[in-house]
Structure 1
């Protein structure tokens, strides 16, 4: 078994971590090789990469849905045991929300679906009801508790699926393309809900193709390319033209605007870059541009 990495003075120890991880599907080439990926408490991490780069596979390795072919998955510094006890411990710490909510919702009503996980943990009925209520409030869908899941809109189904994961009170919430298929209003409502979860102490990892969303929302980025996985501050990685080209990602809108402003002397070299159109509006209103 691969030994855990020692804790460093650079920051908090990871909650969950892949160490030199590799994986290949049966009779297929390696999807991931020698991947090191640590998820520390309290972060918002955007996982980016082209189609087929291995993002979904990486998320499933982190959540225990797949087992590393090489390397190890660590939880609080210790290797995960892939038996019932070990996986239960992992899944009460790390929860995965898949891209299509219809692959996750199965109960007759929203409340029943959200209660499934806590009930399976053997929690008392009062505790289950409390967790369901908290999750529904966090995702702003209390009014949908008794609604049949098949009558929900797509955005409502997305939030109901996330609520089911939140009811497990995970320390790390992992989501695969959570904003895919949502209109702008639906995206904003979802991001507001994720903001409330982060304020409550939940670490969020989001796989997305949207570089503008990643720059606006995340603290850190993890970019998968043919050269491997690179991690770091989101603004630094998404300003690296060579990395973006290798990963087949476009330059974020805000990064392109900042370069233009600096080239014309309208933005100081050491000034923070805008991340949203609202940032530009605020700076213009304050006479900064």
Structure 2
């Protein structure tokens, strides 16, 4: 699988984390990824898009050090990652992965205990661990659940508790695998509000999803996995490429179709942004 890195990702600061010519195969299996180039720029929201089985999860595990490139290399701040204890500790304090199912990540008796696990493993002083736990719970809006047994949490609360455990490590890059999957609309909105606050605080967020509408609404950039390779660039630009979407087996965002109809009927001025959610469309269409 060949890759291309968008020029804007190369033209500015050194990416926080980057895959260069990366490839990976599981034992006795065909290549899952081959020749992938992906630069994660600091301060931007990146949507990783692709059909099921396209290699999104493998790519995220390569970025976070859970898997090691079979070919190519992983760079952190422009330097190759060393897969020894010191190198992996540096990587995992910079890049944190939250898996799709929170039950695969939560294991402690209470929320606070679970969130404290990572900072404690770093050997931090107890006051620092407490401060990180409190900050992470507050960031995820679950401070009231600190002493709640994890098995008594709702699904949405478990999702946020799992993310809080990663946030407590204070990573520069937070990688989320389908974070909105299984959430009702209200739960999705609450989680997106949390991610917005994290972005404002300086955390770079990478979200794997096959929800093109969510990607268009939320992300600055996109990385689209298809059998033809990996394409990266501004999210609106990539999601307007019908050939790319067809090859990746992704549907066209409804917001782009709505915008096209509005412009064709002279209802939306050139250069004016179109609605990105049904609510925006409803407010836009309502009488003044």
2:74 corresponds to: 73
Give, in whole Å, the separation in 1 of the partners of 2:247 and 2:10: 32
State the superposition RMSD in angstroms. Answer: 1.7
Aligned partners of 1:262, 1:160: CA distance in 2, in Å? 43
* Paired position in structure 1 for 2:181: 180
Q: Secondary structure at the match of 1:32?
A: strand
CA contact under 8 A between 2:9 and 2:41: conserved in structure 1? no
Matches within 5 A, 1:134-145: 134-145=135-146
User: Is the partner of 1:279 in helix, strand or coil?
Assistant: helix
Alignment gaps of 5+ in structure 2: none
Q: How many angstroms apart in 2 are the aligned matches of 1:218 and 1:12?
A: 19
- Retained in 1: the 8 A contact 2:9–2:39? no
With 191-200 and 168-177 compared, the bigger mean Cα shift is at 191-200
Query: Using a 3 Å threshold, how does the CA distance of structure 1 residues 8 and 145 change in structure 2: closer, same or farther?
Result: closer
The runs of at least 4 consecutive aligned structure 1 residues that moved more than 3 Å come to 281-287
| 2:27 counterpart SS class | coil
Give the Å deviation of 1:264: 1.5
| Matched residue SS, 2:270 | coil
- Of 259-268 and 136-145, the range deviating more from structure 2: 259-268
Distance, in Å, in 2 between the alignment partners of 1:199 and 1:236 is: 24
* Aligned position for 1:197: 198
Q: Which residue of 1 aligns with 2:120?
A: 119
Scaled by the length of structure 2, what TM-score is found?
0.95
Q: Distance in 1 between matches of 2:82 and 2:270?
A: 49
> Who is 1:91 aligned against?
92
**1:46 Cα deviation (Å)?**
0.5
3-state SS of 2:68 partner: coil
3-state DSSP class of the match of 1:168? coil
**Number of the residue aligned with 2:252:** 251
* 2:44 equivalent in structure 1: 43
Q: CA deviation at 1:265?
A: 1.9
- Residues 193-222 of structure 1, C-alpha deviations (whole Å, 9 max, x = no match): 111111100000000111111111101111
Tell me the distance in 1 between the aligned counterparts of 2:177 and 2:238: 20
**Contact kept? 2:224, 2:230, Cα under 8 Å:** yes
Q: Number of aligned pairs? A: 283
Partners of 2:270 and 2:51 in 1: CA distance? 31
Q: Partners of 1:109 and 1:286 in 2: how far apart?
A: 50
Q: Indicate whether 1:106 and 2:107 are aligned.
A: yes
Q: How does 1:206-225 map to 2 (within 5 A)?
A: 206-225=207-226
> 5+ residue gaps in structure 1?
none
The answer to whether the 8 Å contact 2:9/2:40 transfers is: no
Structure 1 residues 195 and 286, CA gap change in structure 2 (3 angstroms): farther
1:8 Cα deviation from its structure 2 partner: 8.1
Q: Deviations over 1:238-284 (max 9, x none)?
A: 11110000000001110010111122222233332321233334433
